[in-house]
Amino acid sequence: MTHIDYKRRQFLQYATLGTLAATLPGFALAKNQGFNKAPNSSFKADVEIALTAQTADVPILAGAHTHVFKYTGKLLKGPQSALKELPGYLGPILNFEQGQKVRIYFYNQLPEPCVTHWHGMHVPQVMDGHPMYAIYQGEQYVYEFEVKNPAGTNWYHSHTHELTATQVYQGLAGLITISDEAERKLDLPSGEFDLPLVIQDRSFTNGNQLRYMLNRHQRMRGFLGDTILVNGQENSTIPVKTRAYRLRILNGSNSRIYKLGWEDGTPMTAIGTDGGLLEKPETLPYIMLAPAERVELWVDFSGRKPGSDLMLQSLAYQGSAAHMGGDMGGGMRQGMGRMGRMDGASAQNEVISIAKFHITEQISDSPKLPTELVPMRRLTAQDISSPDKTVPIAIGMRHMTFQLNGRTFDMQDHTELEKIPVNSIQKIRIFHDNHGMGGGRRGDRGGMGMMMAMPHPIHLHGQQFQILSRKQNNLSGAYETVRDGFINNGWKDTVLVMPGEEIEIIKPFKDYTGLFLYHCHNLEHEDMGMMRNFFVS
Ligand code: C2O
Ligand code: CU
Ligand code: CU
């Protein structure tokens, strides 16, 4: 039995949206806003996939199967390589080519509404999986889009109103890879040397069922599980040969932030980030990976002894409320059976094992790390369409709820400052707004202060952005434990905003008009309303 609260009452809120929508003010503003329930004959798809969200029972732990939600896929048209099933609960990996036209017939067979978002992809509003396009059990939605993104690693997941956290938690997520010409020229490790690593934390009942019990404080912090799964499996051991690999890592967790590092202190070499390949490889001592962020690593196992192991870990760090909340748990149960199993589920100030790379075979040839990867046009202040205007994303809190720009999510709501001219390039400033904090009950203040000090992974739909600057307003020992783990070059769609941090980004809003979400990708925060619309017109 799962302990998930489905909040069915919320469904009513948009049960009538289809009919109401036409009369809502602002609705007529965005063109082509209807549900896309049937294929457009004018859209000539290169790849067609049937993707079904359904319940399933899959093996995750030893013993009883686990009841999950799962995307299952079927390739209807296109190259065989376009779809690769994974064991476990994750949806199939979708492998696309830049320039391909993709049609996905999405069927909802779950006993609750669902909608699917193509995270990182630059697609029109009606194809973007906005919660207003959720469909009910038995219904179909047709997603049609051209793959405009460059080579890289994206993902898809449910984005259902106030159900994103529970649906993703139960399994509704999958990886998307994109390849292109520029990437092929680089001859990066491919095939068996190109490995996906979706990292998620989960908790299980004694009967192996997913557990998701959140009291008010846990909800404020976000779900933290006590068991690490990689690609939907526990105790991941990955066999590798003595050569270079490309690792595509996605943090698919609801709220856990990882400080990725190699057990033996080997630095990490990144070749890609959310939006694709970097200009050139970047070497860091460790890499902070917040929910929804991706990083592609170049890992060279040459010179390592066959039979030896190298552990990918999440290293200890501070700077999250998890360890300030007074509800931190005991130590990990390392060495007591379950790798990656953590008691108490909240300690991010401990080392966590993620995946073990086991060197199986000595081979002699390995590709060399390219010194240059792909050209990238740096956006600068000169590119900003209206230089005197900065779009704010103020992270705040009121009534025990996180807010953005002083408001919580409301399906189609957008304010004046959330209006963006189409085909413009905007400077956006993301910061903690500490002013709205008064008014709470006296006894709440300590708790609120603690929660205000949380990190938030802020995600913007639509086109990828670049980071212009990062400023820490209260340098502390805690920040020192994470500060060398950020990749600030390259295209991003999610940026981790640490407590006290202020980040300026620059983002193009090209091609598509309509409502595009921006939100915290701590999924518990998102579901409590830490999400807003930009209205692009
Ligand atoms: Cu990955 Cu709006 O989300
Ligand atoms: Cu997204
Ligand atoms: Cu948040």
Is residue 373 included in any domain, yes or no?
no
Are 109 and 208 members of one domain?
Answer: no
pLDDT of residue 348: 73
Are 294 and 439 members of one domain?
Answer: no
Q: Are 438 and 507 in contact (CB under 8 A)?
A: no
Is residue 375 included in any domain, yes or no?
no
Closest to 95 measured CA to CA, from 196, 226, 211:
196
pLDDT, tens digit, for every residue of 286-300? 999 999 999 999 999
Q: Above 60 in pLDDT, residue 7?
A: no
Structural domain including 420 reads: 381-536
pLDDT of residue 336: 32
Task: Report the range of poorest mean pLDDT among 49-63, 144-158, 400-414, 445-459.
Answer: 445-459
Q: Above 70 in pLDDT, residue 449?
A: no
What secondary structure does DSSP assign to 97-148, as a single string? ETT-EEEEEEEE-SSS-B-EEEET----GGGTT-GGG-B-TT-EEEEEEE--
Ligand with an atom nearest the CA of residue 130: 1
Is residue 184 included in any domain, yes or no?
no
CA–centroid distance, residue 479 to ligand 1 (Å): 26
pLDDT of residue 231: 97
CA–centroid distance, residue 24 to ligand 1 (Å): 25
Ligand with an atom nearest the CA of residue 451: 3
Nearest ligand 1 atom to the CA of 129 is 2
Identify each DSSP E strand in 450-490 by its residue range.
Answer: 456-460, 466-472
**Residue closest by Cα to atom 1 of ligand 1:** 119
Nearest ligand 1 atom to the CA of 292 is 1
pLDDT of residue 452: 64
Distance separating alpha carbons of residues 334 and 331, to the nearest angstrom: 8
Token pair for residue 279? Answer: 């200009």
CA–centroid distance, residue 254 to ligand 3 (Å): 10
Are 403 and 349 members of one domain?
Answer: no
pLDDT, tens digit, for every residue of 122-154? 999 999 999 999 999 999 999 999 999 999 999
Nearest ligand 1 atom to the CA of 531 is 2
CA–centroid distance, residue 422 to ligand 2 (Å): 18
pLDDT of residue 451: 56
Residues lining ligand 1, CB < 6 A?
117, 119, 157, 159, 292, 459, 461, 517, 519, 521
Q: Above 70 in pLDDT, residue 324?
A: no
Are 226 and 302 members of one domain?
Answer: yes
Nearest ligand 1 atom to the CA of 155 is 1
Q: Above 90 in pLDDT, residue 40?
A: yes
pLDDT band at 24 (very low <50, low <70, confident <90, very high): very low
pLDDT of residue 435: 63
Are 424 and 354 members of one domain?
Answer: no
Is residue 372 included in any domain, yes or no?
no
**Residue closest by Cα to atom 3 of ligand 1:** 119
Give the highest mean pLDDT range of 247-251, 345-349, 448-452: 247-251
What secondary structure does DSSP assign to 226-294, as a single string? SEEEETTEES-EEEEESSEEEEEEEE--SS--EEEEETT-PPEEEEEETTEEEEEEEEES-EEE-TT-E
Are 174 and 227 members of one domain?
Answer: no
User: Between these two residues, 350 and 533, which has the higher pLDDT value?
Assistant: 533
Ligand with an atom nearest the CA of residue 518: 1
Are 165 and 195 members of one domain?
Answer: no
Nearest ligand 1 atom to the CA of 526 is 2
Domain final residue, candidates 151, 179, 207: 179
pLDDT of residue 214: 87
Task: Report the range of poorest mean pLDDT among 31-45, 77-91, 114-128, 502-516.
Answer: 31-45
pLDDT of residue 350: 87
CA–centroid distance, residue 108 to ligand 3 (Å): 28
Are 155 and 225 members of one domain?
Answer: no
Nearest ligand 1 atom to the CA of 120 is 1
pLDDT band at 415 (very low <50, low <70, confident <90, very high): very high
Mean pLDDT of the chain: 88
Are 406 and 458 members of one domain?
Answer: yes
Is residue 376 included in any domain, yes or no?
no
Q: Above 60 in pLDDT, residue 403?
A: yes
Are 161 and 204 members of one domain?
Answer: no
Are 210 and 316 members of one domain?
Answer: yes
Is residue 470 included in any domain, yes or no?
yes
Is residue 369 included in any domain, yes or no?
no
Nearest ligand 1 atom to the CA of 519 is 2
pLDDT, tens digit, for every residue of 202-228? 999 999 999 998 888 888 999 999 999
User: What CATH number did the domain enclosing 287 receive?
Assistant: 2.60.40.420
Query: How far lies 324's CA from each of 106, 217, 328, 347, in Å?
Result: 42, 12, 8, 10
CA–centroid distance, residue 503 to ligand 3 (Å): 15
Q: Above 90 in pLDDT, residue 9?
A: no
Count of beta carbons in the 10 Å neighbourhood of residue 438: 8
Task: Report the range of poorest mean pLDDT among 330-334, 375-379, 513-517.
Answer: 330-334
CA–centroid distance, residue 390 to ligand 1 (Å): 23
- Name the 3-class secondary structure at 305: coil
Number of domains in the chain: 3
CA–centroid distance, residue 464 to ligand 2 (Å): 10
Q: Above 90 in pLDDT, residue 285?
A: yes
